[in-house]
Amino acid sequence: MEAERELRGPARVVLAVGVSIALAAGVLALFSQDFGSALAQFFLEPFSNRYFLGNYLADAVPLMIAGLGVLIAFRSKNFNLGGEGQLYASALAAGVLALRLPAGIDPLTLWCWTALVGTLTGAAIGALSGLLKAFRGVSEMISSFLISAIVINISDFLITGPFQDPASNFQTTRQITRQFLLPRILAPSKLDISIGLALALILVFMVVAKRTRIGFELKICGENEEFARYCGIPVAAYQIAAMAVSGGLYGLAGALLVIGPQGRVIRGFSSGLGWSAISVALLAQGSEAGVVPAALFIAFLGTGSDHVMIGSGVPSEIISILQAVAMFFITARSLPRLRRRRP
């Protein structure tokens, strides 16, 4: 066996962050006419004023919530690849509910109901993959992806069909009235109070993981399934629950987008969020608290990409490339030595 350097968690994170930033700079050098200004647009513009900063933070909120869910699923060794569909369908369910509730309703009641319905929709879709795994031995990765593909198609149909806003040229539902949208902070940016909820949720999940039996047993299920079974822990129940929580948090993220920054459900509005949340969970390295910086970093890559697209015409899809490279480094467990030892 040749000598290998083991990569520890922090080293992987530093590598992943460093390499993806370096690569971003490289791509900008390749694609932009004016490298200096593209660089500034990517790295500085998101922080340059209140408006951009608020929008950037607002982009991090769904990533925190959904990333937290992916993290919980990871902990029980479940890969939820259906986030795209879970978030989208839940956003639609929440949006339709918000539009149907009587106009005289108290905004707080409306927010609670839409958040609840969004969460339950996502949880139901996620739990389905958990159930299929537990009872039919179906890989949750494949089933969650396929179910997601199906619900995306159905949601697309519902948005462009029965729930289409007749007054709009876009493929979108009607707009939710201003008074029913979450109060903004850092106006005129789209950042709203949901960031508080995201942080609170992360705190709650931290406490559950560290201080409760449920959190402990979930961890055992992920670390050693056989041992967990031997201890009498209902492993299947935890797996289903983990997928449900993961889907539910995707759903909550979707619902909060609809009663927050979006204000309506536009066809395909959430595209890419599902995958980004997975990057967030990976960067967080199994720690709830790590979700916050991880979401801020992935949102930064996304915001930066958007800024250079508008400013320099570099396609914003470079975000996928940056995330992919970050994923490679975050999951690498060892670095082969560059020089082989002489025999």
Partner 1 sequence: MSDITTVLVDILKYTIVAATPLLFASIGGLFSELSGMLNIALEGLMGIGAFFGMAAAGLSHNVFIGVLAAIASAVAASLLMGVVILRFKANLFIAGLAINLLAGGITTVLSQWWYHTKAVVAFSLPDPLNAFPAALAQIPFIGPVLLSHSVLTVSAWLWTLGAALIINNTRHGIRIRATGMHAQAVLALGYSPDRARMAALVWSGIGSGLGGFALGLSISAFVPNIVSGRGWIALVAIYLGRKKPLWIAASCLLFAFAESLSNYIQGFSSIPPLIVLALPYAVTLVSLIVAGNKK
Element (H, E) at 203: helix 194-211
Shortest reach from residue 271's CB to partner 1, in Å = 10
Question: Using CB under 8 A, which of 22, 34, 48, 317 touches partner 1?
Answer: 317
Tell me the C-alpha distance between 202 and 185, whole Å.
20
**208 lies in the site for partner 1, by CB under 8 A:** no
- Residue 178 contacts by C-beta under 8 Å, 6 or more apart in sequence? none
Site string for partner 1, 71-90 (x = CB under 8 A): --------x-x---------
**328 lies in the site for partner 1, by CB under 8 A:** yes
CA atoms within 13 A on the CB side of 250: 42
**333 lies in the site for partner 1, by CB under 8 A:** yes
Give the pair of three-digit tokens for residue 299.
Answer: 């949102």
Closer CB to partner 1, 193 or 332, in the complex: 332
Among the residue ranges 111-119, 248-256, 288-296, 321-329, the one whose residues contact partner 1 (CB under 8 A) = 321-329
End-to-end alpha carbon distance in the chain? 12
Closer CB to partner 1, 39 or 301, in the complex: 301
Question: Using CB under 8 A, which of 105, 154, 289, 310 touches partner 1?
Answer: 154
Q: Which residues in 269-288 contact partner 1 (CB under 8 A)?
A: 275, 278, 282
Of 80, 75, 76, 55, residue with least CA distance to 251: 80
Q: Which residues of 276-293 are buried (b: 16+ CB within 10 A; e: fewer)?
A: bbbbbbbbbbeebebbbb
For partner 1, the binding residues (CB under 8 A) are 4, 27, 31, 79, 81, 132, 135-139, 141-143, 145-147, 149-150, 153-154, 156-157, 160-161, 275, 278, 282, 315, 317-325, 327-328, 330-336
